[in-house]
Amino acid sequence: MRIVQVANFVSPTSGGLRTTLRHLAEGYADHGHEVVQVIPGTVDDEVETPWGRQVVRRSPALGSTGYRLLLDRSGVRRALERVGPDVLEVHDRTTLRGLGRWARARGIPALVVSHERLDRWLGQWLPARLPLTALADRSNAALAGDFDTVVCTTGWAAEEFRRLHVPNLAVFPLAVDTAAFRARTGRRAEVPRSPRDVVLVLASRLSREKRPEVAVATLRALLGRGVAARLVVAGDGPLRPRMQAAARDLPVEWLGFVADRARLAGVLAAADVALAPGPIETFGLAALEALACGTPVVADSRSALPGVLGPHAGRSAPGDGAAFADAVQDLLATPEVTRRTAARALAEEFSWQRTVRGFLHVHQSGRPGAA
């Protein structure tokens, strides 16, 4: 079976979506399937990989975000005609949502992965006086009507489709590579610190929807309470200059985007608590990677992460520095071995093999799996 994945918002420095596409592609290849990805880039190109092939389409940049968008719809369709998919997997609901109709007209089974919860995403960018839920419902109903299956990665993300009684909905959680991300002996050497320091880590794109400034506010609140804390930021993005200005007087280490997974795992394992302040995270792969490294997580209570974390591997809090600082201190009151063991145990429940099997069930049957 030739599985073709199409996505926007994939770049050399992007995080969760790029990770998801790679693990799915590797899993499909391991099951004997041919995999082709169609993604945006700076120039037209074709790249051979260990798991398959990437067809890169030259695409315009989306402002200063670092992302590019496949805006040439006819060019994307021509690329798909050349590739000849047996099934289509779309990881975008903006410029690529019309591919559901394209696939249906050709008898090609197609699924779309909803990586955002649209009603919450609109609330981040549009005035509250607008009928945001109605706007999201209209868009979601059309999306579900255009594709054979809509896939969400958490029950929280699926809520906006379930309220519409969408019949073609599947829920498959994402996962973490627990071999690459794991607790390390001598972890404290990964991040310079005094023995009494509390090390916080933020592994995130520094953009508005991720609310990374909450991490700086959390550090400031802890220091104001006399907690010897410091923050390590692994990530980059348009908000970095503003955050650095706000944290000029604080103990913050700015690592930028960390491409090497072994180094990132070392940074995550060296921290006491990972912060996940994004209020519209539909799954939170960076948080799961921290858990796999034995580092508990404090997440925004409005996101999907509280449902992922469970009662022992982290805490949730309203999205402000004082509340996050309360949650950090509550976590630290738990014995270190207890909180680290719980974090790792939870991460081990999320297997890429299981995720791949769920996606393949849809591709092979053309029907949603158990949601």
**8 and 120 part of one domain:** yes
Model pTM score: 0.90
Q: What is the mean pLDDT of residues 117-126?
A: 90
**211 and 63 part of one domain:** no
**87 and 150 part of one domain:** yes
| pLDDT tens string 9-65 | 887 777 788 999 999 999 999 999 999 999 999 999 999 999 999 999 999 988 877
**193 and 233 part of one domain:** yes
**136 and 231 part of one domain:** no
**14 and 131 part of one domain:** yes
**12 and 38 part of one domain:** yes
Which ranges of 61-171 does DSSP label H, i.e. alpha helix? 73-83, 99-105, 118-125, 132-146, 155-162
Give the Cβ contact number of residue 132 at 10 Å: 18
Q: Which residues pair with 297 in a beta bridge?
A: 274, 314
Asked if residue 180 belongs to a domain, the reply is no
Taking the C-alpha atoms of residue 143 and residue 48, their distance in angstroms, rounded to an integer, is 32
| pLDDT tens string 77-115 | 999 999 999 999 999 999 999 999 999 999 999 999 999
**356 and 319 part of one domain:** no
Beta-carbon contacts of residue 32 (< 8 Å; ≥ 6 apart) = none
Check whether 196 has a pLDDT greater than 80: no
Q: Which residues pair with 88 in a beta bridge?
A: 4, 110
Q: Which of 72, 51, 53, 64 lies closest to 8 in space, CA to CA?
A: 72
**170 and 131 part of one domain:** yes
Asked if residue 50 belongs to a domain, the reply is yes
Taking the C-alpha atoms of residue 204 and residue 287, their distance in angstroms, rounded to an integer, is 9
Find the CATH number of the domain harbouring 254: 3.40.50.2000
| pLDDT of the residue at 182 | 93
Its domain, for residue 358, covers 2-175+351-365
| pLDDT tens string 316-346 | 999 999 999 999 999 999 999 999 999 999 9
Asked if residue 370 belongs to a domain, the reply is no
Listing DSSP states for 10-57 in one string gives --TT--HHHHHHHHHHHHHHHTT-EEEEEEEESS-EEEE-SS-EEEEE
| Residue 223 tokens, joined | 């220091």
Asked if residue 181 belongs to a domain, the reply is no
Check whether 1 has a pLDDT greater than 60: yes
Asked if residue 145 belongs to a domain, the reply is yes
**192 and 329 part of one domain:** yes
What distance, in Å, lies between the first and last C-alpha atoms of the chain? 24
Q: Which of 71, 80, 82, 83 lies closest to 103 in space, CA to CA?
A: 80
Asked if residue 371 belongs to a domain, the reply is no
Taking the C-alpha atoms of residue 101 and residue 106, their distance in angstroms, rounded to an integer, is 9
Asked if residue 282 belongs to a domain, the reply is yes
**119 and 237 part of one domain:** no
Taking the C-alpha atoms of residue 38 and residue 56, their distance in angstroms, rounded to an integer, is 6
| Total number of domains constituting the chain | 2
**342 and 195 part of one domain:** yes
Q: Measure the CA dihedral 130/161/171/10, to 10°.
A: -40
Asked if residue 101 belongs to a domain, the reply is yes
